[in-house]
Amino acid sequence: MEGKTILLGNGSFGAREGEKYLGLFGLEGKVTLTDSELSNAVDALKNGQIDGFVTAGSYPALNVIEAAAISTTSLPVVAYTKSAMSDDTAYLLTKTFWEQRDDMGSAAAWWNGISPDMIANITDAHRLYQR
């Protein structure tokens, strides 16, 4: 990404996370940050004004759906706990989530974007899901 132009937006959670990750990836000062509204991000990406943008939006947010038509990447959001939680409690929380996911998806469509095949991205949780 070095030398690329990135739109972070201003003052949002996504902008703060984007700044943090640019630092973590050693890209601070190595990318050009453009000053534009996040609402312009997809159009700016499509017409080549920027090389990428950071958003904390979730499916089915309009900018996420529009960006999905382009080659994109994303960062999953995961809930973690301390290792002090018992396996039985972790199992109950996980079981309850999957039993209620469809109902939650009726209330907020972005829950429908979560599928069991995404679990492979979370190696520590994979063992519990196999059980």
Q: In what order do the strands lie in the sheet with 5-7?
A: 32-34, 5-7, 52-53
Q: Helix 87-107 and helix 123-130: axis angle, to 10°?
A: 90
Supply the pLDDT for residue 50: 92
Supply the pLDDT for residue 125: 58
DSSP state of 78: -
Q: Which two tokens stand for residue 79?
A: 């809930």
Q: Is the dihedral of CA 80, 110, 122, 19 positive or negative?
A: negative
Supply the pLDDT for residue 130: 66
Q: What is the mean pLDDT for each group of 10 consecutive residues in the chain (131 residues)?
A: 89 84 90 87 90 78 76 67 83 89 86 79 62 64
| Closest of 126, 47, 123 to residue 94, by C-alpha | 126
